[in-house]
Structure 1
Amino acid sequence: MAARMRFPAQALEELRKADPETQVSLKLIRRLIHTGAVPSVPVGNGNRRLVNLDALINYLERPPEGKPEQAQGIRRINERRVV
């Protein structure tokens, strides 16, 4: 069976069809994609991503225990100079 791949906005539409009162937002779906919590693949020039809808639903039904993974990237540094 092929994976059901959707853009984040389309995934949200599918979730709203199943549950019109869902509190899941587009921002949450994008954050889960960015942190790698749910599988996604880049399309086009890499700026857009397709999310695996089934993996997203499974994640929302059974989120992992413990602290969520942090996205790797630029971190803030202390600008005070130590003399």
Structure 2
Amino acid sequence: MENLNNIISLAELPVQKSGKVINILCGGNKRRRFLDLGITQNTIIKNERVSPSGNPIAYNIRGTIIALRTSEAEKILINIL
């Protein structure tokens, strides 16, 4: 069982830290897009860098750097590693 104290949204993940995907809190086309990008349960995601304005944020997902808006990253729950 996951430690509930370590579960946050992907948008809250500090720079250069990693987390494991626990759940995606949306459906429809947005959920399909996340799945197509390789964001599935148990995927390890690392916050690589934040843009100067704070939005978007670059994440390393399965060896690929993908930028997500904060509003999108808030829909992904992770467990901090």
TM-score normalised to the size of structure 2? 0.25
* Structure (1 or 2) with the greater helix fraction: 1
Between Structure 1 and Structure 2, the one with more strand by share is 2
Q: Which has the higher contact order (CA 8 A, sep 6+)?
A: 2
Decide which structure has the larger Cα Rg and report it: 1
TM-score scaled by length of structure 1? 0.25
